[in-house]
Structure formats: C-alpha cells, structure tokens
Amino acid sequence: MAVELRMLQMDQTMTKGKIGKWLVKEGDTVTEGQPLLEIETDKVVHEQESPADGVIAQILPEEGSDVPVNALLAIIAAPGEEVERVEADTIPEPQEPDEPEPTTTKPTAPTKIQSQQTLPTAEYIKASPAAKQLAEKLTIDLTQVKASGPGGRILESDIHRYIETRGPTPTESTRLKASPLARRLAKEFGLDLTSISGSGPDGRIVRDDILQVADGMPDQVLRTEPAASEVVELSGIRKIIAERMTMSVQTNASVTLHTEVDATTLVELRGLFNEELEKREMSLTYTDLLVKIVAIALREHRLLNATLTDEGIHMLADINIGVAVALEDGLVVPVVRNADQIGLAAISEQVRTLAEKARNNQLTPGELQGGTFTLTNLGNFGVDAFTPIINPPECAILGVGRIVKKPVVHKDEIAIRTMLSLSLTFDHRVVDGAPAAQFLQTVSQYIQNPYLMLV
C-alpha cells in the first residue's frame, strides 16, 4: 500500500521548509531510513528519510520550493503497485463566514491516494514557478493554458505555445521591450525608457542603447546611486533567518538592559580550572561558565525561562540553554539541555561537540529543539555591547561582550580590573523591567563570585 512522505516539523516554531535537493528521482527503489531529500530551515539543513521500503511513485515539490509543514512531498508505492498521481497540497484562502462549507470528496480505493480539492483559478493551477512568473508578467490566465508537464503541470514552454497559438494581445504588443540590464541602468541614470530607441531584436532596448544616451548627458544630470558590484540571493538559511528575526522584532515588545560587571574572579577561577583540566586535555571557555551561571540564575527567576502562548505565559520546567554558533551563511542555536543540573565538564563537552557539528552541518533536529533561553557571545570579535534579538518562542536572550582590563573603582581605590559587558533583551509582554533587572543582577553576582555556583 502506498505511503505518503510529508514535511516534518523539526521544531515548535517551524511553519515551512525549503526543498534544498532531491536525493532520489521517480522510479527509484528506496529502503526505510534512506535519505530522500534535503530540507533547509532557519536552523539546519536536514536530510528527511524514507518512512518505508518501496518505489518513488511521485515527487511533488521542486527543488527550491517553500513547503508548509505536513505538506505532501512524495508518494512511495509498493513494488508493482499502481498509484494515481496527485496534485501538490494547497492552502486555500480563509473563507468568509457566510460562504458555504466546502464539500468533501468521495473516498477512493485503498491503494489510491486522494488529492485535495482545488479551485478552478490560476492561484490553484499546477504550474512551475517559471510558468507562473511568466504568466503573471504577461497577464495570462493560467486556466486557459493547456498543460504538458507531468501530472497536468503547466510548464514555461506551455505559456510560450499558448502565446503563439493565441497571438499577442494589445497590451503585449505595445509592451516596452528592454533587457533586465538595460532597465537597471536606466533606473540608475534616471532615464525614461519610452524616450529611447532600441537597437536589439524587434526593437528591444539593450545595454548599449542606455550607455549611448548616458554618454551624451552632463555628469550632474546622471544619478549617483552606487551600482551593486554583486547581488547575493537571499535564500536558504539566510532567507529564513531574515524572516524569523523580522517576525521576532515585529511581534515581541523587546527591551534591552545593558550592564558591566567585574569578571576578575571569574577569569582567575577559569585559569585554576584549566590548569587541572589540561592534564585531561580539556579546557573551559567563558561561554561554558556563563551557560552554567545563566542556568542557575534562571532557577531563581522563572519568568525569564518562559514562553508566551494563546493560553498565557507558560513557565517552563526544563532549563535548556541555546548557544548561538556563527556559520559562514548564518547562525544556528544548538541546545544544552538541563544545564542547571549538569556539571561544568559536561557543559563544556556538549558546547564543544555541538559547535563542531554545527560547523560541519551535522546537527540533528533534536539538538536544535527545546531551547528555553539563548546565550550569544560576540566577545571574541572585540564587541563591547550589542542588542541581541530574541529567539522565538523564548522570551529572553543574553548577549555577552568582550572581557577587557580597565581602570575602575574597586574598594574605594582605582584598580585595574577585568570587566565584562552584558546585554539582556527580554519580551516586555512576559517580563517587566524590574524582574529582568533582578535576573541580570543575579547573573552579575555569580560572575563576581563564581565560587557560589559550585555550592
């Protein structure tokens, strides 16, 4: 019997994933647990595995497509089994209350998979992204185009064939013809394309036409916007990070508190620890120590270890600290679980292992889920203080700056002390300023007196 492969939800905030690469093709024989495709999320590139043995009967979304959670990705049939091809899952627009409820389709035979009922409009017609883009550009009704692709899918070639058969409309015949580069140059120089004669095929305006007109213009007339030397596509993990961070800023009532704390004793304690750990070829980083300190402080300030839902504020029982790890094309936040209950050596081992796996793109979805509070450290980059953005659905994040020696007043005398900058961003819908400041005070006290965390 045929088995459906659907988009998995890899964490509680994930709503969609991007199809990075299909590792199989239709007709391939696969085994249970075999990687079938790569899914890109804001946190990781994950290989989704086959749920059963069988043959790939149909692959639905193309590479590069954004697919919602639980959407149908592929159909795996038993050897020799014939399965009807289905259409990709659609998400219909919300209906007005006075509209009748959509009718349900009749069930089919057990070996056939029933596709969702779709509306006869261009929005729900099966078409490749290139075909949809061309149809929108030429204002072509997709319901009038005959499909030649697999499963009744409209291809870009079908659009061109439709235009040739129908002939150009008045709008298309009078449409200004210009190459993309010519349009961009005209915009940079502030030129009106309608006043320029094209020397390209069928009167198409090309690059040289724009430059010829621009050469005859006074320098002060030309626009001075700098041209892009390179355009980097906003896609993959970078695109999803942009979406999530924008969502965080727009939905959270974010407030950031900054403080500077004397970390002289913390630095000394780390040195003592590492003298002993060096014999075991181990070492503690400041991030390791801060993960433990933050975890202990969260036990005393539970509102900072919470999340806001439609039901209200959920006080979380576990204290799982996410540690931001920078990558070439973005960042990920693997999670150290129950950080308040494990020792410094275990925290150090987890942080080191998770960071290595992150940089090698080997993190599993489970290692990225369940964070309750995030720690992000830019001290190694010489940053004193910054304003971190909350990692949803958490309600707070602690930014750590560099550790630097400076003259300060210590015991009523000027002394050289090692100082550390902290920046706490919190969601004011969940936590008020005073409780957030008290949490920051507690973290500061543990940094000033790190021996207390060993008690």
C-alpha 343/C-alpha 299 separation (Å) is 15
The active-site residue, picked from 141, 160, 329, 428, is: 428
Sequence-distant (6+) residues with CB within 8 A of 362 are none
Q: Is 46 a catalytic site residue?
A: no
222, 189 contact by CB (below 8 A): yes
- Which pair of structure tokens corresponds to residue 186? 């005209």
Distance from CA of residue 113 to its chain's centroid? 32
C-alpha 194/C-alpha 423 separation (Å) is 54
Q: β-pairing, 373-377 with 396-410?
A: parallel
Give residue for tokens 């576990």: 318
148, 155 contact by CB (below 8 A): yes
368, 44 contact by CB (below 8 A): yes
Sequence-distant (6+) residues with CB within 8 A of 42 are 237, 240, 241, 243, 244, 330
Residue 35 belongs to what H/E stretch? strand 35-40
Strand order in the sheet with 45-49: 45-49, 35-40, 16-22, 66-68
Q: Is 11 a catalytic site residue?
A: no
One-letter amino acid at 290 equals L
29, 386 contact by CB (below 8 A): no
| Maximum C-alpha span of the chain | 90
- Structural Rg of the chain based on CA atoms: 29
Sequence-distant (6+) residues with CB within 8 A of 114 are 86, 105, 107, 108
C-alpha 430/C-alpha 312 separation (Å) is 9
- Which pair of structure tokens corresponds to residue 100? 């009748």
Give helix 433-448 / helix 286-300 axis angle, nearest 10°: 130
Instruction: Give 227-248 as a DSSP string.
Output: PPS------HHHHHHHHHHHHH
Q: Where are the alpha helices (DSSP H) in 56-201?
A: 129-137, 156-166, 170-173, 180-189
Distance from CA of residue 77 to its chain's centroid? 32
Number of residues assigned to the chain = 455
- Residue 395: phi and psi, rounded to 5, are -115, 0
- Which pair of structure tokens corresponds to residue 137? 């550009």
Just list the catalytic residues. Answer: 428, 432
